[in-house]
Structure 1
């Protein structure tokens, strides 16, 4: 069926899921987020979409429909990832008492007001166990009450070409009884080899700790499919400046080989709080990436104290652009705001490449439905 598929992105952030849907063939008409810097990024990188700023609690279905130029029931797909901090395993006080855990109800409110054909909701895997499963059951029953048949599945970003170990729960459903198709894995055992850090970063200019060269040129021709894909039509690199780390951290990094971590740092150089750590603790802290491996999950703060965010060769933390590459953002995607805000935007995003696969699976499900209907009508 040859037609335009429309979408609206709630909790859109910088627009990772929007970008993935665009690549799949959707026209994303509107987005909403309360983060002002992320909104500037979204508006600058997706000019065809109308950005509605402010808390989702203040957004009405009527306003979204007006922004999209649609009537209730005409939207093909409503997507969104309610803020996940309340469900994250990194939040030791996580649970349904956290007000952020109730934001999925705002998503359901807007599903009711918009009546989209398809719904997609993304979150951290912790949502399945938070509150002893209360959140999961509330989401599923909420969709069911609105007439949607919804399934959920844990998707691994690395199995779809993203150079990062990242697990997310994705809910997909529709109100038309269409069979849900999940994206086929493209990378892994028996498939394409996983996309590595080398595939993602090896063509980017070298930097010293704290160095900011502004807009830069690539250091070589693209190596491999992934670099070519992410460069697109770009001829320069933006958002590629190194955070300035304290001299003690640079001294620590000198002792950490590729694939190493805090365990390789001499005892006298360890932070005071880590001198008492057991060898089995803090497995990712002060980790250095390896060229031929995957990244761990990109967080909202690529801080060497938090995880394996040290460049494979250079004694520095990875840049916003390198984090964006690991998340599969195209190089033309410029992140607005302070560097801290840029890292947050990248870390909070759905990897566009994963979003693309999800979008393609929805289009496939629709195509199968219409082809089956056509055959039945003959």
Structure 2
């Protein structure tokens, strides 16, 4: 078995999948080294490049980086301070758009060099064309034809890299929506699976592996009984979020013979106890006040929140719904508590307390990482005064009834001025991320709309911050996202949870170890 596998990371985003692979240790060494990361979007690339730079220090962080995270200094000139490490980072992380002639020319000699027994490929082609939301949006676009949407076929760029590099293994990630996405009546996933099997130029060059199969026939490397076998539910693997994604692992056929006889269950064991929840992920993060969309000062915000709370108190007192009336006392108690605590709330914080002991130890250690209590990207966004009332109402309702309110349960005083509010399309327009439960899926939509991502604490009256979303996505606290806040949210929402990626990496390593002979399976 080679000591180190070189990793090609395609459609890399901010680097979530690569972070999981690069962080894995076995026998005191890193079995996976990120040799090449490719991303086209400018802000995501900046984040990716920074992480590639930090990786050159093998777990230690430059002193200047810690000070920058703490807000003590502006970003240093890394190229001047650490020229060798910065040069290595720029060679490993490339800003390229796959599918262009320029990208093909740049990558050709690199892929020739990487086409060895020690290479694996990871990544997830963009999923907008496959997601349910994306498809609904496309249907509303006049003249839209799926067969002419190049995004449906970006996976072929991934296949093209497999053909050139012929890696010993690959990992492809995509959204659950690809299960039902079709072009001209043909399911896209069927095309993807066929092309993945035949990557490398010959039929059945790769055996496809389901890490956590869903069907009764638990393991079949030839023809999984259902494509849903490739679905991974992240909340079953220590991620505090109900994130369901397709994870397709391929093992080159000449390394996969032993898999043909294995039929004894999932390769990646689920967590069965102490599953991670929202309160685990958000613990230790200091509370913030929301901002106001206009004339934002602390006093203006405080007055707006008090007005919002009074509106909710009166609305719940006079509500026709018994459920809403039942939360009236809770609203009163929360309003009283707000009067005591609100002077302590800033808009931004850069220091965190320890994550509470109830959090699974492995996740807690992962999230705290090397940050030393420093916290980046934790700044609240601004909201309209009317939304402050709705957020307060929703958070109190969720605390009382253990779910978010539906549209028909909103008191008239809190109903948004949407003509279609009662159409049935806004049933869960406002959604609280609840303590004691997995979060709902963190998506890039959080960049535009915080209504689906309301903080569970009624006193904060706000949507999640970038750092809170990153915690739910299991990014370590020292993982800094660059770009403006909208770009940061998009990066977080599009990423693979690194803590999940690490478990995928460990499973792939186990498979490769077993391919070299029995008795070498790695457990951590």
Task: Map Cα deviations across residues 261-289 of structure 1 (whole Å, 9 max, x no partner).
Answer: 353432232222266425x6444421112
Aligned residue in 2 for 1:112: 163
Kept in 2, the 8 Å contact 1:261–1:308? The answer is no
Pair 1:321–1:133, CA change in 2 (3 A): farther
Task: Please tell me whether residue 233 in structure 1 is matched to residue 366 in structure 2.
Answer: no
Task: Please tell me whether residue 167 in structure 1 is matched to residue 305 in structure 2.
Answer: no
Kept in 1, the 8 Å contact 2:235–2:276? The answer is yes
Match of residue 309, structure 1, among 433, 453, 462: 453
Task: Please tell me whether residue 45 in structure 1 is matched to residue 72 in structure 2.
Answer: no
Task: Please tell me whether residue 28 in structure 1 is matched to residue 34 in structure 2.
Answer: yes
Task: Map Cα deviations across residues 137-165 of structure 1 (whole Å, 9 max, x no partner).
Answer: 22122123322222450000111100000
SS at 1:298 equivalent: coil
Kept in 1, the 8 Å contact 2:466–2:485? The answer is yes
Deviates more, 1:123-132 or 1:8-17: 123-132
Aligned residue in 2 for 1:4: 4
Aligned residue in 1 for 2:490: 344
Task: Map Cα deviations across residues 183-212 of structure 1 (whole Å, 9 max, x no partner).
Answer: 42332xxx1232011110021010000287
Deviation (angstroms), 1:169: 0.7
Which ranges of structure 2 fall in alignment gaps of 5 or more residues? 25-29, 57-88, 140-145, 200-204, 211-229, 292-344
Please report the TM-score for the alignment, with normalisation by the length of structure 1. 0.89
SS at 2:280 equivalent: helix
Aligned residue in 1 for 2:304: none
Matched residues, number: 370
Larger helix percent: 2
Kept in 2, the 8 Å contact 1:127–1:133? The answer is no
Kept in 2, the 8 Å contact 1:328–1:351? The answer is yes
Deviation (angstroms), 1:134: 2.8
- CA distance in structure 1 between the aligned counterparts of 2:462 and 2:94, rounded to whole angstroms: 37
Please report the TM-score for the alignment, with normalisation by the length of structure 2. 0.66
Mapping of residues 66-105 of structure 1, within 5 Å = 70-91=113-134, 92=136, 93=138, 95-105=146-156
Pair 1:82–1:308, CA change in 2 (3 A): same
Task: Please tell me whether residue 277 in structure 1 is matched to residue 417 in structure 2.
Answer: no
Deviates more, 1:269-278 or 1:19-28: 269-278
Task: Map Cα deviations across residues 69-108 of structure 1 (whole Å, 9 max, x no partner).
Answer: 9342345211110000000011213744422111001111
Deviates more, 1:340-349 or 1:104-113: 104-113
- CA distance in structure 1 between the aligned counterparts of 2:451 and 2:275, rounded to whole angstroms: 21
Deviation (angstroms), 1:315: 0.9
Q: Which protein is bigger by CA-based radius of gyration?
A: 2
Deviation (angstroms), 1:254: 2.1
- CA distance in structure 2 between the aligned counterparts of 1:9 and 1:67, rounded to whole angstroms: 13
Kept in 1, the 8 Å contact 2:280–2:356? The answer is no
SS at 2:404 equivalent: coil
Match of residue 289, structure 1, among 418, 426, 433: 433
Q: How big is the alpha-carbon RMSD for the aligned residues of Structure 1 and Structure 2? A: 2.6
Kept in 1, the 8 Å contact 2:128–2:151? The answer is yes
